[in-house]
């Protein structure tokens, strides 16, 4: 199942960049929980399959022209996968360009995204799924 889990996250990140809500919902468990380090000053927890619309709305309040690039995925076994990528964009209010490496720790349930948490330090995401940088 490990290769399939990595592929689910890959498809999810690609859909994320396209803001493809339909695909993201299809890849998500109905009990999905996502803790984001990027949607505002404080970490916010989003819940449920339909969280993606609320998440993108929040991101558009904070960021302009944002996307993820150069993602690498790591299989940690036991339905755990980590992603490391760059976020590129501009602050909506400041217009300041931003480029930052981010980590994402994921747990899947029955082949769907179930628990996700982003980290400002990619090493923290790797550690969260039991891997070392």
pLDDT in tens, 48-69: 988 999 989 988 888 888 899 9
Domains and CATH numbers, the chain: 2-128 (3.10.450.50)
CA distance 107 to 51: 17
Residue 50: its pLDDT value, please? 81
82 vs 46, more confident: 82
In the chain, % of residues over pLDDT 70: 94
């Amino acid at each position: 199942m490990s290769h399939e889990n990595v592929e689910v996250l890959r498809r999810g990140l690609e859909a994320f960049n396209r803001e493809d809500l339909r695909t993201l919902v299809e890849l998500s468990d109905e009990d999905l929980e996502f803790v984001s380090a990027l949607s505002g000053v404080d970490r916010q927890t989003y819940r449920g399959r339909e969280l993606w619309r609320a998440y993108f709305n929040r991101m558009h309040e904070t960021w302009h022209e944002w996307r993820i690039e150069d993602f690498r995925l790591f299989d940690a076994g036991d339905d755990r996968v980590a992603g490391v990528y760059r976020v590129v964009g501009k602050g909506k209010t400041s217009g300041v360009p931003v480029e930052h490496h981010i980590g994402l720790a994921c747990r899947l349930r029955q082949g769907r995204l179930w628990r996700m948490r982003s980290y400002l330090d990619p090493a923290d995401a790797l550690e969260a799924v039991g891997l070392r940088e």
